Amino acid sequence: MPTTPAAKTNPPADDRGLYGGYGGRYVPETLIPALEELEAGWRAALADPDFASELNELLTNFGGRPTPLTLTERFCPSKRIYLKREDLLHTGAHKLNNALGQIVLARRLGKKRIVAETGAGQHGVATATVCARFGLDCVVYMGVEDMRRQRPNVERMELLGAEVRPVEIGTKTLKEATSEAIRDWITNVETTHYLIGSCVGPYPYPEIVRELQSVIGRESREQILAREGRLPEAVIACVGGGSNSIGMFADFLDDAEVKLYGVEAAGAASLNSGRVAVLHGARSLVLADEDGQIADAFSISAGLDYPGVGPEHAALRDSGRVSYLTCSDDEALASFERLTKTEGIIPALESSHALARALDIDESLVVVCLSGRGDKDLDEVLEQLGRRS
């Protein structure tokens, strides 16, 4: 099965890195030459068959691709709900697709040091993993509130040799961790690649991450066609920054008969209740007040606890191609339990948001992106469910 990075449709960014007016490069001048170098390196990589074959080899033999497409039996017997099993990818989430692609790119650019941000810790673990694999220095910024919620992932990153730098400012979550990673990059730009974890940030990051994650949708499309002999009626994925969903949607965007749903955490619903603002180098829909000050997001799921969203999602909302729904913490917890008990699969809390809405959308033949596994969430879930003695 082909797993090379090149989505079926070209990303709709214009030559200024704008998606329907969203995106762009709202960063200090210091970073612009680095972004131009990155863009040129990315274009060269896409045109080079060696890049595709190196990445393909890593995705297959290190990452474990292709991941299975699992038909649920008891989760929702009235529907045919398939799960795209990114939880079975090495390190337990879709984040590795992007980390592998960017590490190959960073090595082509001659960078020796990697910085990253992490919320749930999945991207931090994926980044620490690829840095260990290639022997690169790795610094991961993480809010102290997320370090508390996702302690096992902090331990994994440290075991893998990464330095986890606690971020104690502001909300102490992903928003601040991202700002600190960008500030580190500004300071060490000559030696360092910023391995961003989602389809956010200044151009060309939203495009790079989308393309590297589009393997999810490309495999899903081929697998469902092979299994069902037709396209799904709906594809559904959770949206924080939006990387698993944009990767899942990419190959279905041209299939007008396939309904696409993104699911946001109700307390972090940039696409449902945000306004146009500038955050982390891009213009997008953001939880912000009328003065443009960025607001706090609230979600039980650290990976969705982010007030912004990738600019391409903002454009897809405006065009109406994707419908963006919301899911409360309680609904996510209920579907977390339900999948665990009915299918023997413990989903990430992030993915549980998509699972919750998969149950009540109108369509019957549905592919859900199960973006990660839920081991990292056990402490939080057990506490929330009040089962601890």
Partner 1 sequence: MRGKLVIFLMSGSRTPELAEAAVQGGADLIELGFPFSDPLADGPVIRHAAENALAEGMRTKACLQCLAEIRARVQVPLVPFVYSALLEAYGHERFVADAHAAGGGAILVPDLPVDSLPELRRIQLVAPTSTDERIKLAADSTDGWLYLVTLTGTTGARKELSSALAGLAERARRLAPPELPLYAGFGISTPEQARAAAEVADGVIVGSRAIEVAENGAEALRRYVSSLRIAIDEVK
Among 187, 319, 330, 385, binds partner 1 (CB under 8 A): 187
Decide whether 171 or 299 has the Cβ nearer to partner 1.
171
Structure tokens at 227: 């299994």
Q: Which of 284, 351, 371, 376 is catalytic?
A: 371
Q: Confirm or reject binding of residue 26 to partner 1 (CB under 8 A).
A: yes
What is the separation, in whole angstroms, between the first and last Cα of the chain? 48
Q: Which of 86, 117, 145, 180 is catalytic?
A: 117
Cβ pair 304, 265 in contact under 8 A: yes
What stretch of H or E contains 138? strand 137-143
Q: Confirm or reject binding of residue 291 to partner 1 (CB under 8 A).
A: yes
Q: What is the dihedral of CA 157, 137, 308, 241, to 10 degrees?
A: -60
Decide whether 281 or 374 has the Cβ nearer to partner 1.
281
The residue range among 91-99, 186-194, 246-254, 369-377 that interacts with partner 1, by the rule CB under 8 A, is: 186-194
Q: Confirm or reject binding of residue 335 to partner 1 (CB under 8 A).
A: no
Structure tokens at 194: 């910023």
Among 5, 11, 23, 24, binds partner 1 (CB under 8 A): 24
Q: Please enumerate in sequence order all residues whose Cβ is within 8 A of that of 200, keeping only pairs 6 or more positions apart, or say none.
A: 178, 206, 209, 241, 242, 279, 280, 282, 284, 308, 309, 310, 311
∠ CA(210), CA(49), CA(110), 5° rounding? Answer: 75
Least distance in angstroms from the C-beta of 194 to partner 1: 12
**143-159 CB burial, b ≥16 within 10 A, e <16:** bebbbebbeebbebbee
The residue range among 88-96, 146-154, 169-177, 312-320 that interacts with partner 1, by the rule CB under 8 A, is: 169-177
Count of residues in contact with partner 1, rule CB under 8 A: 36
Decide whether 92 or 143 has the Cβ nearer to partner 1.
143
Catalytic annotation present for 117: yes
Decide whether 26 or 134 has the Cβ nearer to partner 1.
26
Residues 231-290 close enough to bind partner 1 by CB under 8 A: 275-281, 283, 288, 290
Structure tokens at 193: 């690649």
Least distance in angstroms from the C-beta of 144 to partner 1: 16
Least distance in angstroms from the C-beta of 6 to partner 1: 28
Catalytic annotation present for 163: no
Decide whether 68 or 292 has the Cβ nearer to partner 1.
292
Catalytic annotation present for 364: no
Q: Helix H segments across 233-377?
A: 243-250, 270-273, 311-319, 329-343, 349-360
Decide whether 13 or 52 has the Cβ nearer to partner 1.
13
Q: Confirm or reject binding of residue 196 to partner 1 (CB under 8 A).
A: no
Decide whether 177 or 238 has the Cβ nearer to partner 1.
177
Binding mask 30-69 toward partner 1 (x if CB under 8 A, else -) reads xxxxx-----------------------------------
Estimate to the nearest angstrom the gap between the alpha carbon of 112 and the chain centroid: 24
Cα atoms in the 13 Å half-sphere on the side-chain side of 91: 28
Q: Confirm or reject binding of residue 29 to partner 1 (CB under 8 A).
A: yes
Q: What is the dihedral of CA 157, 161, 162, 165, to 10 degrees?
A: 90
Q: Confirm or reject binding of residue 172 to partner 1 (CB under 8 A).
A: no
Q: Which of 95, 175, 259, 376 is catalytic?
A: 95
The residue range among 1-9, 29-37, 96-104, 357-365 that interacts with partner 1, by the rule CB under 8 A, is: 29-37
Tell me the C-alpha to C-alpha distance, in Å, between residue 172 and each of 107, 141, 166, 180, 296.
31, 10, 9, 11, 10
Which of these, 38, 47, 3, lies nearest to 17 by C-alpha position?
38
Provide the annotated active-site residues.
Answer: 95, 117, 371
- What residues make contact with partner 1 under the rule CB under 8 A? 24-34, 169-170, 175, 179, 182-183, 186-190, 275-281, 283, 288, 290-294
